[in-house]
């Protein structure tokens, strides 16, 4: 047995000893500050002690995973863990992070109710909906969000469900199967109430898409109410299998006009539609801003996907050895530049996007407070547009990076990465739909470029959060490499933003001059310029905000390492834009491209001794990561073997039948 105790892997502690910074200080910085970290650790400990939160080492059936999620949700309520954003914002924010890192399915189960349903009710409803919000906050009702329909997802303004004002009531109808509400999480089995979007008809006139809150199940029997049909959408990969995504049909479902979420609009007692906004555009932009909340949260999914990929990929690569110099020992695969190229940019992305998101959430909370107070200033309208524009490109950027990171980490872990117990494929499946929900990524990116185009057209060169201030700068092409690589990257991005913005604007004008309508012109100008414009806007803002956050760090050693991390994120994000920078004439000759590539290689080399300790600072506890390859003790081999030993096989359950076939084959004549 003693030979079994000798680990074939390298030591994670040896890697840790190479780091130049204090791990505790770094962890507090990267986990949202000491106060938030204290709360997170408190919640982690509660969950870790409870066997219900131990993750099974096998795929669960849909029924099993739903039951487990339901039981875990009940436990969360029993423990009084903070799910009400407005009652305890700090606790809610820390617990949301914990849930997000622990299990996306459980997080979605809770967030769809507490965040999306209650959030939309609070921002779009009024005094009339206060009692319902209080009930929701006490979990006396369970909410879901029904916007998407069978035949309309991205084109939300074209949804077909109707809510018609008839004899003092609202009557909901699904005029055809295309109008069936689909994908609504929590709807199929748990929800008692739904936030429904429908075309409002008053006096025979369509007033456009409005939000409504409707009861869908009886509060005592939990049966579906008359006038509604509800069902399940079936199996899905990853943690979302535990979410009951449902469908719903309205068959003359009647309810009171109180269902209308009437912030800024209403139906009067004598049956007239009224609204108080200066213009339809302003009305839309305020409600759009409120709906940005989900998208900003989803940036966090990209962050967590990158964190999980970096944690599992880097810890395993630090332990796993293959090959070595002719006369020496085998080396940990993390020492190979090719392997570092796969994983260190992911680590840098997780850290920088995390720092960006911390600031975004802070600013968004201030924005929401102003929105909820009923403010209707011009500046708030501008801020709504900026929040919408920025969340519309950072959500795609973060989620694309996150899903790609998990696929890369899986391959970077070789064959063992493919085991269920590595969790990497399950995580990839889990984060996969983040590219689609709360706005499909390609569609959202268009909204970000539209925002920038409209700012430029109106001559607005600065914005409330400062993200469009690059419009004040004069684009200057590359004149020579500065000592600080970040200055080079920022200058290149600012040039690229001007270039892609001007190109898109010109391409649109050219197309319109040649007779294209606005719709066609917009579609035909997406690929080469508008899409990179949106991505560059997201990346530059992430880089700048991450650098600003790092500059404020007091601890010199942590700050110094994180400065390098921001630079690695910056150069690795810029690399895919090199072609456009050369095509557009920002640079000619090899210098710029070569320096960007050299800089990335050098940063990956210098961050190599820091990376295991950096992973410790961002990683969730072992019971939450639950990856045999990614535990903090570096015992990847022992973890795998423990799982293999639990599956020792003597005789197959189908052995009798197998023997019968073998016997029969023995007596079969040769062909």
Ligand X SMILES: Cc1cc2nc3c(=O)[nH]c(=O)nc-3n(C[C@H](O)[C@H](O)[C@H](O)COP(=O)(O)OP(=O)(O)OC[C@H]3O[C@@H](n4cnc5c(N)ncnc54)[C@H](O)[C@@H]3O)c2cc1C
Q: Which residues are annotated as a binding site for FAD?
A: 148, 185
Name 98's Cβ contacts closer than 8 Å, sequence gap at least 6: 40, 43, 44, 47, 620, 624
Burial 83-99 (b: 16+ CB within 10 A, else e): bbbeeeeebbbbbbbbb
Q: Is 170 in the site for ligand X (CB under 6 A)?
A: no
Question: What is the contact mask toward ligand X in residues 403 to 432, using x (rule: CB under 6 A)?
Answer: ------------------------------
Per the annotation, the verdict on 438 as an active-site residue is yes
Which of 47, 146, 198, 419 lies at the binding interface for ligand X (CB under 6 A)? 146
- Does the protein bind ligand X through residue 232 (CB under 6 A)? no
Residue among 323 and 519 whose Cβ is closer to ligand X? 519
According to CB under 6 A, which one of 95, 240, 431, 478 is a site residue for ligand X?
240
Q: Name the residue number minimizing CB distance to ligand X.
A: 153
399 part of the interface to ligand X, by CB under 6 A: no
User: From CA 402, how far away is CA 417, in angstroms rounded?
Assistant: 17
- CB of 585: closest distance to ligand X in angstroms? 29
**Min separation Cβ 531 and ligand X, Å:** 10
**Least Å distance between CB 374 and ligand X?**
27
CA distance 468 to 612: 36
Task: Work out which of 147, 170, 255, 452 binds ligand X, going by CB under 6 A.
Answer: 147
CB nearer to ligand X: pick between 289 and 439: 439
| Residues 504-523 within binding reach of ligand X (CB under 6 A) | 523
Phi, psi of 199 (to 5 degrees): -80, 125
CB of 197 to ligand X, least distance (A): 8
Q: At what angle do helices 23-30 and 34-49 cross, to 10 degrees?
A: 90
Interface pattern 521-540 for ligand X (x via CB under 6 A): --x-----------------
Q: Which of residues 441-470 bind ligand X (CB under 6 A)?
A: 442-443
Residue 594: partners with Cβ closer than 8 Å, 6 or more residues away = none
Strand-strand pairing, 193-202 and 205-215: antiparallel
d(CA 231, CA 181): 10
* Interacting residue with ligand X among 21, 117, 183, 356 (CB under 6 A): 183
- Choices 13-21, 140-148, 172-180, 297-305; region in contact with ligand X by CB under 6 A: 140-148
> Between 183 and 592, whose beta carbon lies closer to ligand X?
183
**Residue 510 CB neighbour total at 10 angstroms:** 13
Contact 324, 331 (CB under 8 A): yes
Q: Is 586 left (phi over 0), alpha (psi -120 to 50) or beta?
A: alpha
| Residue 125 or 396 having the CB closest to ligand X | 396
Phi, psi (degrees; rounded to nearest 5) at 653: -60, -25
- Cβ closest to ligand X, residue 36 vs residue 512: 512
Size of the site for ligand X (CB under 6 A): 20
Smallest gap from Cβ 438 to ligand X, in A, equals 6
Q: Output the CA angle 498-501-506, nearest 5 degrees.
A: 120
User: Cβ of residue 233: shortest distance to ligand X, in angstroms?
Assistant: 9
Q: Measured from the CB of residue 153, what is the shortest distance to ligand X in angstroms?
A: 2
Cβ proximity to ligand X: between 240 and 316 the closer is 240
400 touches ligand X (CB under 6 A): no
75-134 positions binding ligand X, by CB under 6 A:
112
Query: Residues at the annotated binding site?
Result: 148, 185
Q: Which of 43, 145, 165, 470 forms a contact with ligand X (CB under 6 A)?
A: 145
Determine whether 443 is exposed, middle or buried from the number of CB atoms within 10 Å of its CB (0-12, 13-18, 19+).
middle
The answer to whether residues 392 and 198 touch, using CB atoms and an 8 Å cutoff, is: no
**Residue 552 and residue 623: Cα distance in Å, rounded?**
33
Regarding 394 and contact with ligand X (CB under 6 A), the answer is no
- Which member of 20, 71, 154, 322 binds ligand X (CB under 6 A)? 154
> What is the maximal distance between C-alpha atoms in the chain?
91
The active-site residue out of 438, 494, 505, 599 is 438
**Residue 245 interacts with ligand X (CB under 6 A)?**
yes
Contact pick of 65, 93, 184, 192 for ligand X (by CB under 6 A): 184
Helix (H) or strand (E) holding 387: helix 378-412
CA dist 234 and 246 (Å) reads 9
> What 8-state DSSP symbol labels residue 354?
H
Whole-angstrom distance, CA of residue 12 vs CA of residue 431: 28
Report, as residue numbers or ranges, the catalytic residues: 438
Where does this chain bind ligand X (CB under 6 A)?
112, 145-148, 153-154, 183-185, 240, 245, 433, 436-437, 439-440, 442-443, 523
């Amino acid at each position: 047995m003693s030979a079994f105790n000798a680990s074939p892997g390298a030591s994670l502690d040896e890697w840790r000893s190479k780091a130049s910074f204090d791990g505790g200080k770094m962890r507090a910085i990267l986990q949202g500050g000491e106060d938030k970290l204290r709360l997170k650790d408190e919640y982690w400990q509660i969950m870790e002690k409870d066997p219900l939160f131990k993750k099974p080492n096998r795929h669960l059936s849909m029924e099993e995973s739903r039951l487990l999620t339901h039981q875990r949700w009940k436990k969360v309520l029993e423990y009084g863990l903070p799910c009400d954003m407005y009652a305890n914002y700090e606790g809610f924010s820390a617990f949301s992070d914990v849930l997000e890192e622990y299990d996306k399915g459980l997080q979605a189960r809770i967030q769809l109710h507490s965040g999306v349903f209650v959030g939309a009710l609070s921002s779009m409803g009024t005094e009339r909906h206060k009692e319902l919000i209080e009930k929701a906050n006490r979990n006396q009702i369970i909410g879901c969000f029904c916007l998407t329909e069978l035949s309309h997802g991205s084109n939300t303004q074209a949804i077909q469900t109707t809510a018609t004002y008839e004899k003092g009531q609202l009557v909901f109808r699904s005029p055809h199967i295309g109008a069936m509400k689909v994908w609504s999480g929590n709807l199929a089995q748990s929800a008692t109430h739904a936030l429904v979007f429908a075309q409002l008809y008053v006096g025979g006139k369509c007033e456009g898409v409005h939000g409504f809150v409707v009861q869908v199940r009886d509060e005592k029997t939990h049966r579906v109410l008359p006038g509604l049909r509800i069902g399940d959408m079936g199996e899905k990969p990853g943690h979302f299998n535990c979410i009951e995504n449902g469908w719903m049909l309205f068959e003359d479902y009647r309810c009171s006009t109180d269902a209308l979420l009437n912030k800024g609009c209403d139906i009067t007692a004598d049956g007239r539609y009224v609204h108080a906004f200066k213009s339809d555009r302003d009305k839309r932009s305020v409600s759009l801003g409120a709906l940005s909340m989900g998208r900003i949260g989803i940036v966090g999914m990209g962050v967590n996907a990158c964190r999980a990929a970096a944690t599992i990929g880097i810890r395993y690569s630090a332990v796993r050895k293959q090959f070595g110099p002719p006369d020496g020992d085998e080396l940990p695969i993390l020492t190979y530049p090719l392997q570092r190229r796969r994983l260190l940019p992911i680590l840098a992305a997780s850290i920088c996007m995390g720092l960006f998101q911390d600031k975004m959430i802070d600013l968004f909370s201030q924005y929401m407070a102003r929105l909820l107070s009923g403010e209707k200033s011009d500046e708030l309208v501008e801020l709504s547009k900026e929040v919408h524009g920025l969340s519309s490109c950072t959500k795609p950027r973060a989620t694309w990076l996150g899903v790609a990171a998990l696929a890369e980490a899986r391959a970077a872990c070789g064959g063992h990465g493919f085991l269920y117990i590595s969790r990497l494929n399950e995580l990839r499946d889990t984060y996969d739909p983040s590219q689609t929900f709360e706005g499909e990524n390609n569609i959202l990116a268009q909204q970000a470029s539209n925002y920038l185009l409209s700012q430029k057209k109106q001559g607005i060169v600065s914005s409330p959060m400062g993200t469009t201030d690059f419009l004040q700068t004069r684009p200057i092409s590359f004149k020579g490499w500065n000592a600080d690589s970040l200055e080079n990257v920022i200058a290149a991005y600012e040039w690229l933003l001007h270039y892609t913005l001007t190109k898109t604007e010109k391409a649109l004008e050219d197309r319109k001059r040649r007779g294209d309508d606005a719709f066609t012109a917009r579609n035909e100008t997406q690929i080469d310029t508008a899409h990179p414009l949106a991505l560059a806007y997201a990346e530059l803002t992430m880089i700048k905000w991450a650098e600003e956050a790092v500059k404020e760090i007091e601890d010199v050693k942590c700050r110094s390492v994180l400065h390098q991390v921001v630079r690695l994120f910056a150069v690795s994000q810029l690399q895919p834009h090199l072609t456009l920078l050369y095509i557009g004439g920002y640079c000619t000759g090899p210098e710029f491209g070569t320096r960007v590539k050299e800089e990335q290689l050098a940063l990956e080399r210098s961050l190599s001794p820091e990376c295991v300790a950096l992973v410790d600072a961002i990683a969730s506890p072992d019971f939450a990561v639950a990856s045999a390859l990614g535990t903090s003790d570096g015992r990847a081999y022992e973890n795998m073997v423990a799982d293999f030993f639990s599956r020792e096989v003597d005789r197959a359950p189908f052995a009798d039948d197998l023997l019968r076939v073998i016997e029969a084959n023995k007596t079969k004549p040769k062909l």
